[in-house]
């Protein structure tokens, strides 16, 4: 099984993800990313390579980040230890100080026992698959072993959080004065910088989920447990709630009535706003195939084209880079604003969402009404041959279902990338219709793609 998944290396800390693995991975990263013209020019000028290392507040992040820093320094790389900051902050800092690469130790929205290692190339961009494969191959080969004055140094990146906060504030088209926001920081990496930045932008801020103790990250709080935020917004009579996940690369929202505003709705609001300001490149939004049909219809009504990608923010980002697009993301709350960030940034997204509220004087409920959310029913059909998702009988059933829904619905069948499982997703104007069609298709998949007993 490949070491790298869809978002770096991830697993149970001190299970598959050990300090030894982190150190070896860092050494291999130094070998692979330490190659190239820029690296050679730095060495010719008598300069060592530089890397930013950061983490979320999981207790295991302490030893894993230390192992990463040790592996890099032992390979002759100077390490700037940024401490606990969001993943998008680490990516920003790599580009901001012209570091050669960066490493973020985090498992995002996963529970506390898990952890992960994400690697950013020069400029703070995620690695393409081919580079990850080269790093994995380099783990079993000789490492760099400089001695004496050529070993790397490990220093504290003292103003890392301040640099990131100032960058966020510099992107805002409008201050947030007059808006009362409840922030749920998921007891994660944004617990310090997010409340501070929203306050500096002018908002009145109430904070929950901002007491990380190393083991409570994502525990009943954050974007994967948004009910607590909704209750708090309603109880306080706040204008809006913003929920991050553990490493703050996601943003979901709650309006004043406690209704959840998901990533599709947030993208719709931001796309219209950016188009008005002339900042939506080619009047195009990039979204995955799982984005709601209502998003497509809303964007069409505003003269905005939607480009579709496979599920995963890395595929959204790849398409954005290929086409030079400025906005993209996922229903889950990964929103990428490429003018200001190289990856999904939950704090940046929340700030710009509130800036739109402040600029227009409209509530989040009013802004979110730009799109109608179609009921979406998802059924995971287990123990089936996912490689046969295009089976003729299944394909015929999909065509029949699409015909019955017409223009008022949508069907998507998607094979899992890791399990013998097929996901059946149906959207329709009526939830009962969506459920009936999804159930019928799931039965066809179950019958014709069943694995041998």
Catalytic residue numbers, as ranges:
108
Q: Which helix (H) or strand (E) holds 444?
A: helix 431-448
CA–CA separation, 313 and 284 (whole Å): 16
Q: Which residue has the tokens 């923010």?
A: 313
CA–CA separation, 220 and 222 (whole Å): 7
Nearest CA to 217 among 189, 249, 182, 181? 189
CA–CA separation, 307 and 174 (whole Å): 28
Residue 185 near residue 222 (C-beta atoms within 8 A)? yes
Q: Which residue has the tokens 């007891």?
A: 187
Nearest CA to 74 among 103, 49, 41, 46? 49
Residue 267 near residue 356 (C-beta atoms within 8 A)? no
Cα dist from 186 to 56, 114, 183, 431, whole Å = 11, 15, 9, 31
What does the block give as tokens for 9? 């290396």
**Sheet containing 335-337: which strands, arranged edge to edge?**
305-309, 284-288, 327-329, 335-337
Measured in degrees and rounded to the nearest 5, phi and psi for residue 285 equal: -115, 135
Residue 198 near residue 190 (C-beta atoms within 8 A)? no
145 burial level (CB within 10 Å; 0-12, 13-18, 19+): exposed
Q: Sign (positive/negative) of CA torsion 83, 101, 95, 172? A: negative
| ∠ Cα 36 32 21 (to 5°) | 160
CA–CA separation, 73 and 51 (whole Å): 9
């Amino acid at each position: 099984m490949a070491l790298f998944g869809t978002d770096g290396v991830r697993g149970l800390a001190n299970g598959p993800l050990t300090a030894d693995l982190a150190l070896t991975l860092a050494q291999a990263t130094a070998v692979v990313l330490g190659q190239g013209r820029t690296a050679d020019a730095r060495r010719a000028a008598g300069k060592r390579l530089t890397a930013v290392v950061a983490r979320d507040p999981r207790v295991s992040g302490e030893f894993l980040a230390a192992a990463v820093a040790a592996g890099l320094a032992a390979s002759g790389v100077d390490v700037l230890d940024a401490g606990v900051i969001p993943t998008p902050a680490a990516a920003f800092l790599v580009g901001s100080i012209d570091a050669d690469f960066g490493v973020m130790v985090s498992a995002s929205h996963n529970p506390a026992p898990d952890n992960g290692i994400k690697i950013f190339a020069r400029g703070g961009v995620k690695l393409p698959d081919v580079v990850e494969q080269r790093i994995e191959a380099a783990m079993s080969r000789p490492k760099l072993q400089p001695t004496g004055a050529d070993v790397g140094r490990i220093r504290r990146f003292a103003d890392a959080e301040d640099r990131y906060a100032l960058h966020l504030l510099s992107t805002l088209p409008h201050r947030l004065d007059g808006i009362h926001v409840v922030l749920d920081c998921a007891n994660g990496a944004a617990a310090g910088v997010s409340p501070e930045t929203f306050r500096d932008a002018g908002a009145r801020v109430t904070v929950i989920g901002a007491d990380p103790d190393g083991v409570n990250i994502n525990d009943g709080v954050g974007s994967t447990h948004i009910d607590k935020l909704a209750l708090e917004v309603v109880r306080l009579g706040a204008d809006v709630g913003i929920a991050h996940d553990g490493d703050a690369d996601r943003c979901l929202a709650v309006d004043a009535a406690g209704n959840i505003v998901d990533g599709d709705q947030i993208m719709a609001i931001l796309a219209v706003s950016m188009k008005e300001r002339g900042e939506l490149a080619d009047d195009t939004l990039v979204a995955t195939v799982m984005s709601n049909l209502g998003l497509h219809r809303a964007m069409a009504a505003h003269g905005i084209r939607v480009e579709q990608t496979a599920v995963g923010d890395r595929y959204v980002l790849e398409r954005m880079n290929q086409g030079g697009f400025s906005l993209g993301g996922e229903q889950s709350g990964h929103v990428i604003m490429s003018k200001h960030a190289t990856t999904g940034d939950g704090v940046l997204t929340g700030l710009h969402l509130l800036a739109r509220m402040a600029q227009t004087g409209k509530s989040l409920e009013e802004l979110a009404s730009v799109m109608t959310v179609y009921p979406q029913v998802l059924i995971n059909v287990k123990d089936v041959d996912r490689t046969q998702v295009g089976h003729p009988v299944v394909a015929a059933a999909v065509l029949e279902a699409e015909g019955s829904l017409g223009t008022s619905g949508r069907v998507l069948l998607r094979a899992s990338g890791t399990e013998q499982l097929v996901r059946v997703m149906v959207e329709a104007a009526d939830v009962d219709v969506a459920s009936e069609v999804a159930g019928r298709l799931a039965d066809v998949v179950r019958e014709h793609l069943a694995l041998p007993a």
